[in-house]
Structure 1
Amino acid sequence: MSFLNYLRGKLIDIVVHLLIILLTSVIVISYSVPTAVIYMLCLVYIVIFAVYYYFDFRKIKNKFNNYYKMINSLDKKYLFPELLSNLPLEENEWVKLIKIMEKSMVEEVKREKKDKSVYKDYIEVMIHEIKNPLATINLICDNNKDDTSRKITIQTEQISNLIEQALYLAKLENMERDYYIKETKLERLVSLGIMQNRGALLENDFLIETSNLDFNIYTDEKWATFIINQLISNSIKYRSNHPKIIFKGNKLKEAVELFVIDNGQGFNKHEIDKVLEKGYTGERAHNLNSTGMGLYITRILGERLNISISIDRNTESGASVKLIFPVEDFNRQL
């Protein structure tokens, strides 16, 4: 609060005081009072009210400074009105109005959360329902192998990846209730990710190299596989003419690193800090149907699962993604 803003709030009072001074001066002049006395009376009047306004401003400012300190010390700042007591009549009425608005807002938030929860539950159910005909299509293609069925399998893999994105995005808010941390093999996660994209990898003649993956890690197999699946899907989407993906493990003192390296289109150096942001498609995606959600979901999942994710440019071309998995159950540590 500034003194100028305070004076603006007191503008009507100040105008009234000036009118009183003017009216008083006119009356006093009619009684032939010396001008010097009139000036002195006006000056005293102005000084008295100037001092009053100054100290009133200081009082109000100190009071609100204390209010700001109180509200900043609260974790749940919406409880601040409950701490106010012994307020002047006008301020007390304002607090009552704020509480009415607060109650209305709480009810509105509850309705929004309920509607959102119902919608998310519907999305999850529908996605699982969509998976059933996809599984049937894949089974038919496996039993009738030809060029057409191979192309259909590739398309169903892409559809499956997209609906997996939608499913995991819907689950992000409450994913703690859906994951189970246990010991698993890093090699198994990589194999599952490759199997989920085998049609597109074979169709595009990908060279797959794996090395040093025989490590035990602690993570949720389903969610971690989704992360690797998204990285493979990106490598397929932004592949080069002679595509290759390298999966390489490395043991640290208290963690295990997994490097996923491809020789695809890659990205510019100035994009490194942006590629994990929500909706960022990058300059390489101008001619591709990219949503920019895959890597964003991957980053959020990594944070929730205590998996560190970093992306860099490959020394030759393409991208290099490093995942760092814990080798102990971090839930047990907590």
Structure 2
Amino acid sequence: MTFLKYTRDHYLDLLFFVVCLALTNLILWLQPQQLIIASDLLYLDLLLCLFFGLYFASTYWRKQHWYREIQLRRAAQADSLNWRLDQTKAYAEQYTATYINQLLDYHQQSLEKLHQQNQDQKEFIAGWVHDIKVPLAALQMLNETYREHLPEKAAYQMTDELTRINHYVEQVLYYSRLDAFSQDYLIQEYALTPLIKQVIRENAAYFLHKKIHFELLGADETVLTDEKWLVFILNQIIANSLKYTADNGHITVKLSHDQQGVNLKISDDGIGIPEEDQARIFAKGFTGSNGRQINSNATGLGLYLAQQLSIKLGHQLSVASIVGQGTTMTLRFPFLSYYNDEFGQQVR
């Protein structure tokens, strides 16, 4: 706090001093028994003003440490919540410091409790996903064993539903791990074509059931990424395309590169995304008009997770769509200038 602001806050003290000084002068001047010389009265006023000014300034300098600590706390922002105020000699400031420190203690306790609850929830989700995968794997084995004895339509439907359950379980697992991403990733060079084919194989039942034609265009490209997380991202995009593409439709994956990076474009000829929804499709929980009208069970997590993981990996995910014509999701892998191969060329 500046001296000017401090003075404004204590203007009543100054006003009280001026009134008292004026009354004192008036009483002395009107004293009939004493002859008061104006110069002596002025000298007395100057002494009183000097003493009061010294007192006022010393009070400000004593409190300046307190105000400076408050200013440092404001500048610290988030760290200020872990910074307790020191006690002072003034009772009013002691009361304020005690109250603020009690609030900080309560905040810290609440934060620790919330953190523990969040950690317990993550551990429960991770355990639940691990446990659910066991019966899910058993169901998939049973489906593979007995699907020949089922009608073709029922067999494909069973496979589709199991694959969908597996995708939802993966979404839950990756959502719970989103905050701990930095502890579970490994950036290496990977060829994109094998990863794309892996994702297509995982969704083969969908392609077969809906008779959707798949085409991979462009030469293979090598990028710096994490295999597990990238496969999950591609799975979310492909699953979304399959969901909103009609039977006998087309899904195309095209690889290309320019001077700045590699582009992976996944295009479909599905129903498309309304223009007003395109800016929000990566928001958590957003299902849009398509999700509400066509797929009422949509969670709004798939593209949100794909976008968040892309950002954490240093990739860029964008969308372009025309209603009734289809959608193109572009996953861009910028070249990283600080990764160079032995020939001095940028690694993709």
Matched, 1:132 2:138: no
Alignment-mate amino acid for residue 315 of structure 2? I
**Aligned residue number for residue 35 of structure 2:** none
Contact 1:217–1:328 (Cα < 8 Å) also in 2 = no
Matched, 1:155 2:153: no
Taking structure 1 as the reference length, what is the TM-score of the superposition? 0.76
Matched, 1:309 2:317: yes
Pair 1:215–1:298, CA change in 2 (3 A):
same
Pair 1:301–1:231, CA change in 2 (3 A):
same
Matched, 1:300 2:312: no
Secondary structure at 2:76's aligned position in 1? Answer: coil
Secondary structure at 1:144's aligned position in 2? Answer: helix
Taking structure 2 as the reference length, what is the TM-score of the superposition? 0.73
Contact 1:179–1:220 (Cα < 8 Å) also in 2 = yes
Equivalent of residue 246 in structure 1, options 222, 233, 252: 252
Rounded to whole Å, the distance in 1 between the matches of 2:282 and 2:164 is 21
Can you give the 5+ residue segments of structure 2 that lack an aligned partner in the other structure?
Answer: 17-56, 341-346
TM-superposed CA distance for 1:261, in Å, is: 0.8
Rounded to whole Å, the distance in 2 between the matches of 1:270 and 1:219 is 32
Q: CA RMSD in A?
A: 4.6
Map Cα deviations across residues 294-330 of structure 1 (whole Å, 9 max, x no partner): 1111111111111111111159712111101255598
Q: Which moved more, 1:81-90 or 1:320-329?
A: 81-90
**Aligned residue number for residue 39 of structure 1:** none
Matches within 5 A, 1:156-171: 156-171=162-177
Map Cα deviations across residues 194-224 of structure 1 (whole Å, 9 max, x no partner): 1221111211111111111511111111111
Secondary structure at 1:264's aligned position in 2? Answer: coil
Rounded to whole Å, the distance in 2 between the matches of 1:179 and 1:330 is 19
Secondary structure at 1:319's aligned position in 2? Answer: strand
**Aligned residue number for residue 286 of structure 2:** 280
Contact 1:267–1:319 (Cα < 8 Å) also in 2 = yes
**Aligned residue number for residue 209 of structure 1:** 215
Rounded to whole Å, the distance in 1 between the matches of 2:323 and 2:218 is 21
Rounded to whole Å, the distance in 2 between the matches of 1:77 and 1:87 is 26
Matched, 1:325 2:337: no
Secondary structure at 1:286's aligned position in 2? Answer: helix
Secondary structure at 1:323's aligned position in 2? Answer: strand
**Aligned residue number for residue 111 of structure 1:** 113
Rounded to whole Å, the distance in 2 between the matches of 1:79 and 1:110 is 13
TM-superposed CA distance for 1:262, in Å, is: 1.0
The structure number with the bigger radius of gyration is: 2
Alignment-mate amino acid for residue 90 of structure 2? P
Contact 2:87–2:97 (Cα < 8 Å) also in 1 = no
Contact 2:193–2:221 (Cα < 8 Å) also in 1 = yes
Rounded to whole Å, the distance in 2 between the matches of 1:156 and 1:123 is 20
TM-superposed CA distance for 1:69, in Å, is: 4.6
TM-superposed CA distance for 1:91, in Å, is: 1.4
Contact 2:203–2:239 (Cα < 8 Å) also in 1 = yes
Pair 1:241–1:80, CA change in 2 (3 A):
closer
TM-superposed CA distance for 1:254, in Å, is: 4.7
Pair 1:262–1:63, CA change in 2 (3 A):
farther
Contact 1:243–1:263 (Cα < 8 Å) also in 2 = yes
TM-superposed CA distance for 1:108, in Å, is: 2.1
Rounded to whole Å, the distance in 2 between the matches of 1:304 and 1:314 is 28
**Aligned residue number for residue 74 of structure 1:** 76
Equivalent of residue 188 in structure 2, options 163, 178, 182: 182
Matched, 1:226 2:232: yes
**Aligned residue number for residue 102 of structure 1:** 104
**Aligned residue number for residue 44 of structure 1:** none
Can you give the 5+ residue segments of structure 1 that lack an aligned partner in the other structure?
Answer: 17-54
Pair 1:326–1:134, CA change in 2 (3 A):
farther
TM-superposed CA distance for 1:257, in Å, is: 0.9
Map Cα deviations across residues 142-186 of structure 1 (whole Å, 9 max, x no partner): 233344332211000110111111110000011111122222111
Secondary structure at 1:240's aligned position in 2? Answer: coil
Pair 1:152–1:90, CA change in 2 (3 A):
same
**Aligned residue number for residue 90 of structure 1:** 92
Pair 1:101–1:295, CA change in 2 (3 A):
same
Q: Percent identity?
A: 25
TM-superposed CA distance for 1:192, in Å, is: 1.8
Pair 1:271–1:99, CA change in 2 (3 A):
same
Alignment-mate amino acid for residue 304 of structure 2? Y
Rounded to whole Å, the distance in 2 between the matches of 1:129 and 1:101 is 41
Rounded to whole Å, the distance in 2 between the matches of 1:226 and 1:327 is 21
